Amino acid sequence: MTDEAFPVLPRFKAASDLRERIRAWLAHLRGERRMAALTLEAYERDLRQLLDFVAERTDGPVSLDGFCGLSQGDLRAFMAARRSEGAGNRTLLRGLAGVRSFARFIEREKDGKVAALSAVRPPKASRRLPKALNVADARDLAAAGTREGENRAPWILARDAAVLSLLYGAGLRISEALSLVRAEAPIGRRDIVTIRGKGGKVRSAPIIEPVRRAIEQYLDVCPYHLAPDGPLFVGARGGALSPRIIQLAVERMRGALGLPETATPHALRHSFATHLLARGGDLRTIQELLGHASLSTTQVYTAIDTARLLEAYRSAHPRARSVQSG
């Protein structure tokens, strides 16, 4: 395999033996692990940043032995340098993910072991809660009627509403909604859609009547012939729709509705989970609907709902108000 196999990835400051392992690792992530392109790029960037740092300190490309021989001091110095560039704990923690992935790969391949990685204490990062919208704002953001009067083609307004309805009404990621093909459109009597999520995981998402109706309205006015195996949602020229177009549409709606910057397409997915939980939804079921591999990822929504209940209690309960005033 040559460097051209990964034309979008920058070259590493690595000796030939380490470069060969990097190529094999990237091929493994892209092929066997079926890692998403953005995650692949992030892992590559994680490793490249470390190798750039080490190469500058040693005045030369990093060899396989040099990588395996990294000391705790090397890794601490790297993290200190990243902090001086403005990286916080969460950035550092995420930034070590690619390095650890590569280290595990070369250890599995019996090419060596980076003992220092297990000895260095990773930075702690507090878990930030997703910013969910309230029910009324989430409905307004996803509703077709809210867009009436915008100086854009009616079919484009219907398209945006259909996409956002899938995010709030079915808990889809924006990439999942835009990956649907025309033949998979949940219309008519079809009340379920099959989603291929992160890591190629497949799940089923029920489609409620308002979401199905929004998709049908979009298809009724879409001016393009949509091939069965082509994208369900298309751009102004008929090609595949970019996520950025939907993000820009939401930015416009934020201004019109007076919503905060945290009101994003992904916030609708968070709102889907938070509102289900508030109405008594089972955590395991919500995990399956969201496509989370681990229940711990979904459990963050219990903290959101608890925070909402505490806020309501403190603002409305007579005893809470008497304590605050005292």
Report, as residue numbers or ranges, the catalytic residues.
173, 198, 266, 269, 292, 301
The secondary element (H helix, E strand) that includes residue 177 is helix 174-178
144-157: buried (b, 16+ CB within 10 Å) or exposed (e) per residue? bebbeeeeeeebbb
Q: Give the residue among 98, 101, 21, 97 at the shortest CA–CA distance from 65.
A: 21
Q: Which residue has the tokens 């806020």?
A: 311
* 203: β partners: 195
Number of CB atoms found within 10 A of residue 265's CB: 23
From residue 74, alpha-carbon distances to 37, 67, 105, 130, 312 in Å are 29, 10, 20, 34, 49
Residue 135 sits at φ, ψ, to 5 deg, of -60, -45
Number of CB atoms found within 10 A of residue 244's CB: 9
- CA-to-CA distance for 174 and 178, rounded, in angstroms? 6
Q: Which residue has the tokens 């209690």?
A: 313
